[in-house]
Amino acid sequence: MGKIAFVFPGQGSQTVGMGKDLAEKNSEVMMYFTKADEVLKDQLSNVIFDGPQEKLTLTVNAQPALLTTSIAILDLFKKSGVEADFVAGHSLGEYTALVAAGSLTFEEGVYAVRKRGEFMERAVPNGEGTMAAVLGLDRDRLSTVTAEIDQSGFPVSLANLNCPGQIVISGSRKGVDLAGEKAKEAGAKRVIPLEVSGPFHSSLMKPASAQLREVLDGLKMQDAIIPVVANVTAEPMSTASDIKEKLIEQLYSPVLWEDSVQKMIDLGVDTFIEVGPGKVLSGLIKKINRSAKTYSVSDEESAQAVIDALKEERL
């Protein structure tokens, strides 16, 4: 019998109305949204349920909104008895994974990602940094391209290694533009600029890491009950001290998503359940390994269908 991994989406998967039907039907689920409002002293739940999209997309809102919605949906699995052998999340989703693994409380997770969002937005003046997706170029060649531009004084580096042929680069606007041009010359099929508020997972985020350390130092982080596969190493982590260091590094280091998924497969995972809005991670996992079984769960109906399917499979 193969193992199960819960995976949690990162920024970009947020949509207005996510979790709303579920919360309206289920008072225990609604409690997560109410609790998030209390922790942040903010009406985040209104922004999640009713928008506007521009406000929800702001980094400071998108991060706690996605964590809240994903954990609210995860509650359906907890009650069903379906448990994961591993958890992982893409960038912001790593915090959701840590809540799922018992390393952070829900309240700590919501607070930490709101602060993380603030620090990320402030680290680089608006418009000075950006990100772009590079399609159809392998990581070694793209790494050579970015290193050359970076060393010439225009910061740019690999940011998200999502799946074969899809890598996001991040850095100064000039660095990303130059690297995009060079990538095309080196054989990239397409370079797509991303709508982001900053150069996430690049060296330009280092100023934010000292502030994040202060926040994490103030939390009562616990050892994880379920191994969490870290973005920065693609290796399972479970001790509180290791988790904290990896979260700080994650801010300015590439997200090794392809490697993380491959590591879980190597450790016996054959079923990935994406818990939260969208199907981005399920799509990436299929591109990494076509034989992996993936489920996307964003509401009560899809959660129940997955729970029933897994129980039937594993009887």
pLDDT, tens digit (0-9, with 9 covering 90-100), for 187-197? 999 999 998 88
CA–CA separation, 213 and 89 (whole Å): 20
Q: List, by residue number, the catalytic residues.
A: 91, 201
Under 8 Å CB-to-CB from 165, ≥6 apart: which residues?
135, 136, 137, 138, 287
Secondary structure class of 233 (helix, strand, coil):
coil
pLDDT confidence of residue 312: 85
Q: Is the CATH number 3.40.50.720 carried by domain 129-196?
A: no
For the whole prediction, is pTM greater than 0.85?
yes
Stretch 211-217: mean pLDDT, rounded? 97
pLDDT confidence of residue 155: 97
Q: Is the CATH number 3.30.2130.10 carried by domain 3-123+204-313?
A: no
Mean pLDDT of the chain: 96
Residue environment code for 88-127, b if the CB has 16+ CB neighbours within 10 A, otherwise e: bbbbbbbbbbbbbbebbbbebbbbbbbbbbbbbeebbeee
Number of helices and strands in the chain (H, E): 14, 10
**Who has greater pLDDT, 196 or 35?**
35
Stretch 93-110: mean pLDDT, rounded? 98
pLDDT at residue 254 greater than cutoff 80: yes
Stretch 246-254: mean pLDDT, rounded? 98
Bridge partners, residue 293, by sequence: 271
pLDDT confidence of residue 1: 80
Q: What percent of the chain has pLDDT over 70?
A: 100
pLDDT at residue 315 greater than cutoff 70: no
pLDDT confidence of residue 81: 87
Residues 161, 259 contacting (CB under 8 angstroms): yes
* In the chain, where the domains are located: 3-123+204-313, 129-196
Q: Categorise residue 17: left if φ over 0, alpha if ψ from -120 to 50, beta otherwise.
A: left
Q: What percent of the chain has pLDDT over 90?
A: 93
Under 8 Å CB-to-CB from 249, ≥6 apart: which residues?
209, 232
- Tens-digit pLDDT profile for residues 131-164: 999 999 999 999 999 999 999 999 999 999 999 9
Stretch 170-196: mean pLDDT, rounded? 96
